[in-house]
Structures are given as structure tokens and as C-alpha cells.
Structure 1
């Protein structure tokens, strides 16, 4: 083989190699796979039992339309009352607020925040606002309910997921736990004070809805379904130890789950169970839950005036304590108990 032909073949091989690498790079950037957690959350019941108990809430898949192309406005354009409930998410230097008055009609917003593709989900029946990484797919409302709670699906594989336990019930992702992000369920006044540059989901959604009317009642003032000591659909586990609509803050790991009554946590500021540590966050009137560290003495954790905490001589905001943070979920008591009847909780003396 002469040198000219050899050089030509080498050049051709190099081009093929580069194109292959570029192809792999493009494929990875547009990979439609759905991010899932490395370790699934603990479950209160077998998946088979969940699937058997799952029922129709009335609408067909996408009958409750998710917002797939959300528009946002400035805070001063939002016109929200201070006490209006919002779902907040801050990531990558960007903060957004999703009014409950809009989400009650759509339940899911497929969005991008700080460069992260997320599904912001809200179930009005269980008062749960939870965020999930969505990769290049989008989420929809399936129309099914489990323990009166939203069942969502991803449009790439059509796998169904329970919102509260974030776990696949059917399809390719059965048994997988979604990669979850922390959302904040709070008032507009509190969120705006903490994030003055926040953008707000516009009611120009492309759907014909009366966003001044909540079909379940009202949070301002609190009335209707949101305060009634009843559920609208059957649940797998029920307890009368708390008002059904008492707000709790829950968390789960691969091995255990816990729930803390928000009112009690607000009063005590610090609560613990065998595997969990919860502190009250007065900025948003919610709880922040950490894994309780093994072998670490927590007697040095103290409450400070103004909402911070001191641990071993160092001062920390509620969300920056030197422990392993968990995704904390605000929920109605009945809903958390329905999924996690054996949750750890502080014992009442």
C-alpha cells in the first residue's frame, strides 16, 4: 500500500471516529430516559397491593391537562394576596412560584428551572406538592388515584407513578423511585420575601379555566374540603388519631419513613425519631427533615431567636444543618398515613 492511500484511509477512519463521538454526545444530550433514584424509597405496602387498590378519579389520561408550555410574569404583575398559597422552587440561581389557584386545575407543570427539567406536581386531595426530575420526557395526569392521591405518568414510557411515594406502579419504571427535588408549600408573602426576584406562573395557560374558583373550597379563608374531617376517596389505611386534614411533614429513605405534625413541630422547633431529625423553618412555616446521624450526639443542637439553630458552637439556618438532608413533603395527615401507616413519629408524653 502506497503512502498516499494509507494517509487517505487514516483520514477517513479519523472522520468516522469523530462523527461517532459526536453522535454519542448528541444522543446523551437528548437522552429521553427518566432520571430515577439509585435506591428506591421504602414502601408501606407491596406494589401489587397498590395496583389492585388504584382507582379512577373520573377523568381519562390527560383529562386534567398538565401545563406543558408555562408562561411566567414578574412578581409585581402577579396580583396575589399575601396569604395565597403557592408552590415554590429555587434552583440554579432561579426561583419560581406556582400559585395553588392555578395548579388546582392542572396538577402538573412541566418546566425548566435553573437549567433543570422538572415536573412540578400538586394533588389538591392530599395537599401534596412534589417535584421530580423529568429528563427529556414530560409528565401527565393519569386520571387514576391511589389513596386519594395523584397518579402521574411519563409520556415517554407511559409508566404510572404514585406521587406521594414517588414510585413506579406499572410500565417500564415499575418499582423505580423518581429523582425528587424539594418544593416549598407556603404563602405568597413568605415566598416573595425570601425570593424577591421570583417569577410567577401566569394564568395565561392556553386552557379555559376559572382560576378564581377552587372546586374543592378555599385556602383564603380556609374552608370546604380542606378543613373537613373526611376523605373523598377510599384509602388503604386509616387512623383517627389526628384530624384527617391536619398538616404533617413527612420524609422517607430506603429503609424507613417518618412524619411530624406541623403544629407540634412549630411549637417544639426540634423533634426526633429513631432515624430522623426535624426542625421548624419559620421562613416558610414548614419543616425540614434530616437523616438522624449515627453516633452523633445531638444534645448540642439548640434553637436560636430568629429561626436559626446552633450545633456545636456553629450557627446554621434550618436548611443548612450539617446532616444529610431529605426531601420533606407537606401533606394531609390521612394521606401520609395511608401510604406509610408505620411511619416513625415523635411520641406524645
Structure 2
């Protein structure tokens, strides 16, 4: 009986969300999507108005040594000009976009709880600093950020504008990694951590996506779907010029040491940590490579023909 009620509840939720999506689609939160560069079926209204999820524009930080979190808690980290900063997932899920600056370098972090997207980019276009917000729209269930100047819409993983005056432009990616707090603080004990003093009233200790992360249900329909992996299997994405290759974590787990893969002849060294559920990618010179992550269902829906890495059979454990 409980299972039946649960299925009815889930069906009702999906119906309600679909109604919201159709109703909001009439004005798309005021954004001009007439020149949408991708199939329109992937675009939906997320049920929030423009800036209904407030992006952070003046984040505050404390030294790593002054912050107490459980070792297993998730953070997204960047290192720019030698300064390491960590952004706790507990804060990111309530804002999804963080505008920040280190020295003279403005950058933006995009975190999409629905699609699992984690990426960071230089927040400058045509030589000018740009501030980003949360559009309230989704593409293949992923958060669409928008730049406040031109009001163009941007994909989180690709860093590409898909609608508006800047359609076709691409932001310069910055290496960002999602990992455990224990891993990050051990690597960067002199770094800084985003704190919950944001100026917004949010229950930062509560994760509104905890159940969503733990099951295979989707809030919004996407096509095409693939059952090759669990829908929410995290995948690492390496972008080499216009070539994409996805690395599902379950495939990376077959390697118990860093390994090298080549894309268009370019070598990339990939180091996966099963304990921290994190991946770091470096180039031939040992420099970090920007490599966003996303859930399998969202990545496949947007790139159904892109290459997917499969670990050699000899590296996979036998059952």
C-alpha cells in the first residue's frame, strides 16, 4: 500500500511540475529564446521566477582552520592565483550560482542540484567583468545561468550561451572539483571557505535534494534517456576543442591509480578517489585541466553521440 501511495505521490508531483513548466513557458521569465541554439524540447521552466533562486554576489569566507564541518560533507573547490577556496554544497544548493573574485580575476561557479552539474568559468566577456544570475529555466534539467548584461542563457557544463545576444559564445573554464571536506582541508589548510552569512534567509543545514540524490526519479522529463548507467551516476567531462568525452565514476573506479587517456592525441592524466568521490585531471605538464561533472541522464540527453569512456575489462573487478 505504501509503495502504491508513493507512486501516486510521485506521479502527482511530476504532473504538477509539468503544469508549472507549461505555464511558465509562455514568457520564459522574460528571456528571449527565439534564437535558441538547441532543440526546444530540452528547455523547461523550473517553477522559479528569474532570480527566484538568488545567486551570491558578495560571498564571505573564513580560513579553513576556523570552519567546522563533517569530513564527508561535500564542497566545490577552486584554486586561483595560489588561493584555494571551498564552497560547501550546503550553501550552493540554495543559490546555484556564485559570483566571486580572487585578485583581479572575476569568476563564477555554477552548481545544478537537479542535473548534478559542477563547473566554474572566468566571468569576463569582451574584456569586461560579468555578473551571472539564476534564470529559473532549465535545459535537460540543468540550471541555466544568465549574464546580467545581455541576458543570454548559458549551459552549466559547456559554458556556452544557447539563447540571447551572446548565443554561440563560450566562457573560459576554470578547474573546479567537487570533493569531501576532509580531502579539501587536508590539501589546502591555508585556504578559505564560503560561510552561510550570505544575507539570505535559508535553512542551510537542510538539504532539499537529499531524497532526489538517493533515487533514480527525475523531476523533469528529458530525452533521450539511457539505462547504460544509473541516471544519477556522476560523470566527468573532458572538453578538448569541440570534442567531448564522458567518464562515468563507475568506470573510473576500476582504476586504483592515475591513468592517462588521449583525446585528439592530447594526453590527460585522470586521478579518481573512490573515498572522496572526486576526480582531478592534469595535462602533460601536470597542470590542472577544467573538467566539469554532471549526472549521466543529463549528460546523455545533451550529448547522446559523445564518446563515453569504458575501463578495460582487465581493470574491472570480477564478481
What are the residue-to-residue correspondences of 1:138-157 with 2, within 5 Å? 138-157=131-150
Give the distance between the partners of 1:121 and 1:234, measured in 2 at CA: 22
Aligned position for 1:54: 43
Instruction: List per-residue Cα deviations over 1:155-212 (Å, max 9, x = no partner).
Output: 0111111112221111221011111111110011101111001111110100000001
- Stretch deviating more after TM superposition (75-84 or 192-201): 75-84
Give the distance between the partners of 1:50 and 1:278, measured in 2 at CA: 34
How much has 1:73 moved relative to structure 2? 1.1
Aligned position for 1:279: 270
How much has 1:325 moved relative to structure 2? 6.4
- Stretch deviating more after TM superposition (326-335 or 48-57): 48-57
Give the distance between the partners of 1:201 and 1:288, measured in 2 at CA: 21
TM-score of the pair, normalised by structure 2:
0.78
Give the distance between the partners of 2:55 and 2:263, measured in 1 at CA: 39
Is 2:230 aligned against 1:247?
A: no
Aligned position for 2:83: 94
Is 2:246 aligned against 1:259?
A: yes
Q: CA RMSD in A?
A: 2.3
How much has 1:236 moved relative to structure 2? 2.8
Question: SS at the partner of 1:192?
Answer: helix
Give the distance between the partners of 1:324 and 1:78, measured in 2 at CA: 28
Give the distance between the partners of 1:208 and 1:150, measured in 2 at CA: 21
The answer on whether the counterparts of 1:50 and 1:146 sit within 8 Å (CA) in structure 2 is no
Aligned position for 1:226: 213
Question: SS at the partner of 1:226?
Answer: helix
Tell me which structure has the larger Cα radius of gyration.
Answer: 1
The answer on whether the counterparts of 1:90 and 1:113 sit within 8 Å (CA) in structure 2 is no
Instruction: List per-residue Cα deviations over 1:83-109 (Å, max 9, x = no partner).
Output: 100010111021111000000000111
TM-score of the pair, normalised by structure 1:
0.71
How much has 1:138 moved relative to structure 2? 0.5
Question: SS at the partner of 1:264?
Answer: helix
List gaps (5 residues or longer) in structure 1: 1-45, 218-223, 290-318
Aligned position for 1:189: 182
How much has 1:334 moved relative to structure 2? 1.1
Aligned position for 2:294: 331
Give the distance between the partners of 2:89 and 2:194, measured in 1 at CA: 10
Tell me how many residue pairs correspond in the alignment: 269
